[in-house]
């Protein structure tokens, strides 16, 4: 019994090192984004620009010889169209991948909420999330589905 008590702390420390070595890598990036919408019927065919904080979380999870990756993206922005109509935007995207890469195409959905007489509309598409050589993260719109502009 004494030998078990003596080796239990060594076993516990060994398990801590084992579990920490198998934990996943994670990148969380926070930065400001500017979203420029081209002319759309939803905003009276006027360009719309919104700016706000962006959070990107990239989580690597090694499984055997493979690595599974989860990417989460969130943008909360505000701005206005050229007519002065104010908008708030909540954009969110999630995707899972079977391998680590330097960029990921993440489907997103967003809700554009106009104040006053401005029209509310959803917008979806794909954003490319890139991990740059210096370890920073950047985003760029890859495609946008035309929205349904009914209120």
Burial class (CB in 10 A: 0-12, 13-18, 19+), 109: middle
User: Alpha-carbon distance 33 to 39, whole Å?
Assistant: 19
In-domain check, residue 63:
yes
What is the average per-residue pLDDT within 36-61?
87
Within a domain: 150: no
13 pLDDT higher than 80: no
Q: Tell me the CA distances in angstroms from 112 to 13, 118, 125, 141, one per residue in order.
A: 51, 10, 14, 16
* Residue span of the structural domain in which 77 resides: 24-145
Cβ atoms 54, 139 nearer than 8 A: yes
User: Taking the model in full, what pTM does it have?
Assistant: 0.77
Q: Using one digit for the tens of pLDDT, what is the confidence trace for 53-85?
A: 999 999 998 888 888 999 999 999 999 988 899
Report which of residues 90 and 63 the model is more confident about.
90
Which pLDDT score is estimated for 66?
Answer: 84
Using the 8-state DSSP alphabet, how is residue 41 labeled?
G
Q: Has residue 141 been placed in a domain?
A: yes
131 in any annotated domain: yes
Any domain includes 132: yes
DSSP letters along 104-118, please?
EEEEEEEEEEE-TTP
Does 10 fall in a domain?
no
What pLDDT does 64 receive? 83
Please indicate, yes or no, if residue 16 is contained in any of the structural domains. Answer: no
The total number of structural domains in the chain stands at 1
Helix (H, G, I), strand (E, B) or coil at 149: coil
In a domain, 36, yes or no: yes
**Pairwise CA distance, residues 79 & 36, whole Å:** 10
* pLDDT, tens digit, 9 for 90 and up, residues 99-151: 989 999 999 999 999 998 888 899 999 999 999 999 899 999 899 888 877 65
> Cα separation of 147 and 45, whole Å?
13
């Amino acid at each position: 019994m004494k030998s078990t008590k003596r080796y239990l702390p060594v076993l516990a420390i060994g398990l801590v090192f084992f579990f920490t070595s198998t934990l996943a890598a994670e990148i969380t990036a926070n930065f400001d984004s500017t979203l420029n919408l081209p002319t759309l019927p939803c905003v009276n065919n006027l360009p719309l620009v919104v700016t706000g904080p962006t959070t990107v979380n990239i989580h690597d999870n090694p499984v055997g010889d493979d690595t599974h990756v989860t990417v989460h993206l969130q943008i909360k922005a505000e701005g206005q169209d050229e007519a002065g109509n104010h908008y708030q935007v909540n954009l969110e995207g999630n995707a899972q991948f079977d391998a680590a890469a330097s960029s990921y195409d993440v489907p997103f959905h967003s809700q554009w909420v106009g104040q006053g007489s401005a029209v509310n509309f959803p917008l979806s598409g794909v954003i490319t999330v890139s991990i740059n050589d210096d370890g920073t993260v950047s985003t760029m719109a890859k495609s946008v589905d035309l929205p349904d502009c009914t209120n």
